[in-house]
Amino acid sequence: MNKILNCLEQRLKWYKKAIALKEDEIPFENNFDWPYGNVENWRGVERELKNTIDMMKHYL
């Protein structure tokens, strides 16, 4: 179960980084593997991942 949780946490970091790059909060990176969609979609995914991670941590 910890592997699944770790995977979700890494995915959350990836979405957060994509949002930060797109909004110029951090310097642009060449060859960044952008998620599908736009910033609004990424924010929705970020919220869902956060909720899922919190729920899994609560029940583990």
CA distance 22 to 32: 11
| pLDDT bucket at 49, cuts 50 / 70 / 90 | very high
Looking at residue 28, what is its pLDDT? Answer: 94
* pLDDT single digits (tens) 30-46: 999 999 999 999 999 99
Asked if residue 35 lies in contact with residue 18, where contact means CB atoms within 8 angstroms, the answer is yes
1 confidence band (pLDDT: 50, 70, 90): confident
pLDDT band for position 60 (50/70/90)?
Answer: confident
Q: How many domains does the chain have?
A: 1
CA distance linking residue 11 with residue 39, whole number of Å: 15
Query: Which residues form the domain of 28?
Result: 2-59
What distance in Å separates the CA atoms of residue 30 and residue 55, rounded to the nearest whole number?
35
Report, in angstroms and rounded to the nearest whole number, the Rg of the chain calculated over CA atoms.
Answer: 13
